[in-house]
Structure 1
Amino acid sequence: MPLVRIDLVEGQSAEYRGAIADEVYKAMTSTMNVPANDRFMVISEYKSSDFIADPTYLGISRSRQCVMIQITLNAGRDVDKKRAFYQALADGLHARIGLRREDLFVNLVEVAKENWSFGNGIAQYT
């Protein structure tokens, strides 16, 4: 059910980008009850001038290595699951690729189940 969009400044290796995708999937399945094989992701890179992340908003010191992750998913997860996801993702990315926790920006977009079609012109969740 989740659709993941990963945005970052250009110049990272395919392995680095793949590791981010892997860690997002791992955190989703371990904390938010996302089923196995439910993996739909796009990764986009931008020129530095086209990627804007305020370096000090809310007192968080962000670098140019900031990664933005937006996930569209079914509505209904409680705040504790979301907090566990944010923490698991920050910890996983830090451990695997050395991403500073300050450089992870996550946005969850919740939608109703009827807003999905995984193919064949059918709304599989209705």
Structure 2
Amino acid sequence: MEEDAVQEREARAYEAVYQARDFQELRRRYKNFVVPWTIAFMTWYLAYVACNNWARGFMSHKVIGHVNVALIFGLLQFVSTFVIAAIYGRYANRKLDPLAAGLNAKYKRERRR
């Protein structure tokens, strides 16, 4: 019986958080960051794959010694991943985490009711 009461409180708490304006704002901010950056990264990645398949002359062009364009592009894939992760971390700290902390506090308050 008490387990049902706990589940009922948790369900109400989740619903209260879901209905909160801050939750909708958090989702909007998250999507506004993730969608464009995902598209940008996937475009960059697919360009790399396409160049490796269809622009072999360009990709095999030696830049310095045995280092060619393909190797540089491959390394830049790693670099771009870490750069995007760092940008996301800063963005989340500034724009997402304050809203998430408030929603977490709201959830905990609602759960105690």
TM over 0.5: no
Please, what TM-score do these two structures have when normalized by structure 1?
0.29
Which has the larger share of helix?
2
TM-score relative to the length of structure 2: 0.32
Structure ranking higher in strand proportion: 1
Q: Which has the larger radius of gyration?
A: 2
Tell me: higher relative CO, structure 1 or 2? Use CA pairs within 8 A at least 6 residues apart.
2
